[in-house]
Amino acid sequence: MKIVPVLDEENGCSSYIIGDEVSGKAAVIDPLKSVGYNHYILTASANGLTIRHVIDTHVHADHYSEAKKLSRETSLIPSMSVNTSAEFAFNPLAEGDTIELGFTTIRIIETPGHTPESISLLVTDSSRSSEPWCIFTGDSLFVGDVGRPDLVDSQQEQVNQAASQQFDSIFRKILPLQDYVEIFPAHFGGSACGGLFLSPKFVSTIGFEKRYNRFLKTDNAADFSRNLMKNLKPAPVTAQQIRNWNLGKSIDT
Amino acid sequence: MNTEEIKKLLQSENFILLDVDPPALYEEGHPSGSYNYPFSRFRWGERLKESLGNETPKIGVFASNQVTADSAASGIRSVGLDVDLIFSQGISAWQNMGLPASKLNKLSVDHLSSNLDKYRIVDVREKFELSSGIIPGAISIPMSEFQARMNAIPKEQPCAVICAHGNRSREVAKFLADSGYDAYTVDGGMAMWLYRGYDVEDPY
């Protein structure tokens, strides 16, 4: 398996090229408009990989996705959660679906919370083990932080519900993984989608976060939510506009 | 360019077609007679020019997408060479135009392990690499000695070429296939063979 991080340091956004070096098949996860499709295609190619899937873990609220353009350039259609209300054709992904990249398999785990259509991607490399090796957590579990629940709908009741979903997603679906499983979130450092404690380091492990992520100290959902709310930054004013653009609801730029 | 024009170009003397996609994609399907010269952003044009030496052929670029094709074409132009053909729609479109395509034969280590009697296995790793073990019954012909010793390979039997990860074996299998052998590259090489837990023996 190969994982090539493609980072936008200015905005704290992580995207990844993941592939199987034997078959040369790759997927791009959360491609960034700020990076541009050329870079993904040529970076994949430099690694002996060809892009076969373009996946967004969720409809981003802080940055523009390059998924549509990158898909068009590689004769693909983007893949997103089946729960996405996008206004363009996409390949719908649901809990338990798998994407095969040679010996590497991506399994879809629905992890709503940050947004209702958030998914995480659990990855196995069968040439090494049948056990999962890493997970792309999108904006659910971050390094040192968790994804905020208020960017889709800022009404208190909706935010509470999203926070409770985020708790379930993280505690019931992600943390039960083995401690050695690596996590690759969609953000690091100063991203608007995280808070004060979001680490500038883009990768961690389940075990390290379980032990040292301050939002995971409690396994009580109400305490988790309270903690989350207490640490919220003001929402970026463009959140709704960016989500709409990413959903194909506004004109392409 | 239409089909006839491309065909004419392919047949013209002093023309080479470079498939600039990654090796694994070339393996799955490429224009017949093309060479795999995967594009990279670092000194690609310069390296191409160096490997051409004093020759100045007409050059065509083949890729599965516009970005790679255009990048390769500008790499070629940047070292003062001309590009006579850019085809950026991949192998299916190439075939749909009625143009000839080929692919490389390959085997998985799983298939090989359960069909050991069917293939003559040729391990092309260098001697110093063999301490990790060789597949029982394989013959060792290091790539550096390959052309001198390839007559040890029987033409009557299918031949499975293996190296460490599958890159050298791809080259050798293509060379053997072009020379009339029923040759296959083993995908993933000895690393994959050992990952999957198959038997090896001491080469010494």
pLDDT digits (tens, 9 = 90+) for B68-120: 999 999 999 999 999 999 999 999 999 999 999 999 999 999 999 999 999 99
* B98 and B110 in a common domain: no
| pLDDT bucket at B204, cuts 50 / 70 / 90 | confident
Q: Which of B66, B68, B192 sits opposite A22 (nearest CB)?
A: B192
* B123 and B64 in a common domain: no
| pLDDT bucket at A73, cuts 50 / 70 / 90 | very high
> What does the alpha-carbon distance between residue B25 and residue B63 come to, in Å, rounded to a whole number?
10
Rg (CA), chain B: 19
Long-range own/partner contacts, residues B53-57 (CB < 8 A, 24 or more apart): B56/B81, B57/B14, B57/B15, B57/B16
Q: Which residue among B78, B102, B126 closes a domain?
A: B102
Does residue A251 surpass a pLDDT of 80?
no
Please write the tens of the pLDDT for every residue from B120-174: 999 999 999 999 999 999 999 999 999 899 999 999 999 999 999 999 999 999 9
Rounded alpha-carbon distances, angstroms, from residue B123 to A16, B144, B193: 35, 12, 12
Structure tokens at A100: 């095969």
Q: Is the pTM of this model over 0.90?
A: yes
Check which CATH number belongs to the domain holding A56 and give it. 3.60.15.10
Shortest alpha-carbon distance between residue B46 and chain A (Å): 16
* B111 and B95 in a common domain: no
Contacts of A50 in chain B (CB under 8 A): 21-22, 24-25, 64
Does residue A9 surpass a pLDDT of 80?
yes
* B130 and B72 in a common domain: no
* B74 and B11 in a common domain: yes
- Residue B96 domain-assigned (yes or no): yes
| Tally of domains in chain B | 2
| Tally of domains in chain A | 1
* B77 and B116 in a common domain: no
Check which CATH number belongs to the domain holding B130 and give it. 3.40.250.10
Does residue B182 surpass a pLDDT of 90?
yes
Please write the tens of the pLDDT for every residue from B150-159: 999 999 999 9
- Residue B201 domain-assigned (yes or no): no
- Residue B204 domain-assigned (yes or no): no
Known catalytic residue at B159? no
Domain that includes residue B165, residue range: 106-195
| pLDDT bucket at A252, cuts 50 / 70 / 90 | low
Q: What is the 3-state secondary structure (H, E, C) of A2-29?
A: EEEEEEECCCCEEEEEEECCCCCEEEEE
Q: Which residue among B74, B102, B130 closes a domain?
A: B102
HSE-CB at A169 with a 13 A cutoff on CA atoms is 32
Q: Which of B22, B64, B90 sits opposite A48 (nearest CB)?
A: B22
- Residue B62 domain-assigned (yes or no): yes
What pLDDT score does A195 carry?
85
B67/A37 Cβ within 8 A? yes
What pLDDT score does A51 carry?
98
- Residue B153 domain-assigned (yes or no): yes
Please write the tens of the pLDDT for every residue from A114-145: 999 999 999 999 999 999 999 999 999 999 99
Tokens 């068009």 map to which residue? A72
- Residue B202 domain-assigned (yes or no): no
- Residue A181 domain-assigned (yes or no): yes
> What does the alpha-carbon distance between residue B66 and residue B120 come to, in Å, rounded to a whole number?
41
* B72 and B125 in a common domain: no
**Amino acid occupying residue A2:** K
- Residue B203 domain-assigned (yes or no): no
Does residue A234 surpass a pLDDT of 90?
no
B71/A38 Cβ within 8 A? yes
| pLDDT bucket at B32, cuts 50 / 70 / 90 | very high
Among B131, B121, B99, B117, smallest CA distance to B169 is for B121
The ipTM, to two decimals, is 0.87
- Residue A219 domain-assigned (yes or no): yes
A-proximal residues of B, 141-180, CB under 8 Å: 165-166
Does residue A253 surpass a pLDDT of 60?
no
Mean pLDDT to the nearest integer, A86-98: 97
- Residue A239 domain-assigned (yes or no): no
* B60 and B147 in a common domain: no
Beta pairing, strands B120-123 & B139-140: parallel
> What does the alpha-carbon distance between residue A135 and residue A122 come to, in Å, rounded to a whole number?
4
Q: Which residue among B71, B102, B133 closes a domain?
A: B102
Mean pLDDT of chain A: 95
Shortest alpha-carbon distance between residue B198 and chain A (Å): 12
Which residues, in sequence order, are CB contacts of A146 under 8 Å at separation 6+?
A: A113, A140, A166, A170, A213, A215, A216, A228
* B128 and B116 in a common domain: yes
> What does the alpha-carbon distance between residue B78 and residue A251 come to, in Å, rounded to a whole number?
37
Torsion of CA B2, B7, B9, B15, to 10 degrees: 140
* B98 and B7 in a common domain: yes
Please write the tens of the pLDDT for every residue from B57-67: 999 999 999 99
Domain that includes residue A27, residue range: 2-233
* B96 and B170 in a common domain: no
